[in-house]
């Protein structure tokens, strides 16, 4: 397999930045998993697709809108009608290909086209609210659920992976510009870039 190089380049500057009077309010990191796959169901097959994805990943995934699941080795969340974004190890695509019959849906490996960025910390909801017009409060956006949205022209698929942690999936070709916007939005809260 071809080794992926981070598209963030010199824009990825580890360390603490911005207003640090109260310490960093968020941590920012690139956390791109080995495999990122979009699973799309044919009409009427979303429940069957959710079961197949759950079987291949070991996740407790439902077909409800915004549904998601977070495990130690994989994550999955709804990114639109009849569609899930699934992440996991190197063998994820092969496991999903075996588990999802052709009459249930299709799979698209997005591993070389997406990057995953993590925003974590007590000010994560606040920072993300500066960029996206959605409600990041825990009551409106519970752990494991996902949302598909955009910041200007940058499509972002976001999953809440912990009480104060979000993973954002964006196109690799737009990752550096989005990363710089994310850092600028984090300045006021103070942020730490971690590996």
Give me the half-sphere count of Cα atoms (radius 13 Å) on the Cβ side of residue 38: 14
Domain with CATH 3.30.1360.120 in the chain: 22-32+112-193
pLDDT of residue 2: 65
Give CATH superfamily name and number for 22-32+112-193. Probable tRNA modification gtpase trme; domain 1 (3.30.1360.120)
Tokens (6 digits) for 54 = 């759950």
The CATH code of domain 35-109 reads 3.30.70.1520
* Burial class of residue 49 in the structure, from the number of CB atoms within 10 Å of its CB (0-12 exposed, 13-18 middle, 19+ buried): buried
pLDDT in tens, 111-157: 999 999 999 999 999 999 999 999 999 999 999 999 999 998 899 99
- Angle ∠(75,161,171) on CA atoms, nearest 5: 70
Domain with CATH 3.30.70.1520 in the chain: 35-109
pLDDT at 10 over 90: yes
């Amino acid at each position: 397999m071809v080794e992926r190089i981070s598209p963030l380049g010199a824009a990825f500057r580890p360390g603490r930045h911005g207003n640090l009077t109260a310490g960093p309010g968020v941590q920012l990191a690139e956390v791109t998993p080995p495999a990122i796959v979009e699973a799309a169901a044919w009409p009427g097959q979303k429940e069957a697709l959710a079961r197949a994805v759950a079987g291949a990943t070991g996740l407790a995934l439902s077909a409800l809108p915004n549904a998601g699941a977070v495990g130690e080795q994989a994550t999955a969340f709804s990114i639109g009608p009849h569609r899930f974004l699934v992440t996991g190890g190197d063998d994820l695509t092969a496991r999903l290909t075996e588990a999802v019959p052709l009459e249930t849906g299709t799979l698209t490996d997005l591993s070389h086209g997406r990057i995953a960025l993590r925003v974590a910390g007590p000010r994560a909801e606040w920072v993300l609210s500066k960029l996206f017009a959605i409600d990041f409060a825990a009551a409106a956006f519970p752990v494991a659920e996902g949302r598909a949205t955009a910041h200007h022209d940058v499509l972002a698929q976001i999953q809440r992976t912990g009480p104060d942690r979000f993973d954002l999936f964006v196109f690799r070709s737009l990752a550096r510009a989005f990363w710089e916007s994310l850092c600028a939005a984090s300045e006021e809260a103070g942020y730490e870039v971690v590996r």
